[in-house]
Amino acid sequence: MGTNPNNAPNDPPCGTIAYRLILKPAWLDPDDESRVKAAAFMRRNPRDADGLSLFDSYRVDMQACIEGCRSCDGVVTLHVGTLLDLGLTVIRDPEDSTKILVTNMPFENPNDAAQESLLDSVADSARIAKRCRHRSKK
């Protein structure tokens, strides 16, 4: 299993399970209910400039993640150790203790075979934990 290259004492351990909210229905594979598309893990500019944001399951529960967003279509889980094994850098979000950042996740539409392959590997490792149609009443 990978080790976190930063070795900072507060970085998430390899055994951490992270949640990624599915913010768009198009991120779910319509032909396979157990798959999420690689698009769910691409960083968007400029919003994700510091990294792809995930929730730390040790610090916040899944339902709180869902209820804290305006709109989502589900939640997938990722294993921090797997992300590290793929060569990704995973750190705690310095501005939000409930979140984890993957700082070198590719940006959307990378047009690079290696980055597209990395995104596919992340998507293959993700597990759909919950499908839902949450819309905030705010």
Contact 29, 35 (CB under 8 A): yes
Burial class (CB in 10 A: 0-12, 13-18, 19+), 133: exposed
| Mean confidence (pLDDT) of the chain | 92
Interval 84-101: pLDDT, tens: 999 999 999 999 999 999
Q: Domain boundaries in the chain?
A: 17-135
Cross-strand bridge partners of residue 18: 56, 78
Instruction: Supply the pTM of this predicted model.
Output: 0.90
Nearest to 41 by CA among 112, 110, 107: 107
Buried b (16+ CB within 10 A) or exposed e, 17-37: bbbbbbeeeebbeeeeeeebb
pLDDT band at 2 (very low <50, low <70, confident <90, very high): low
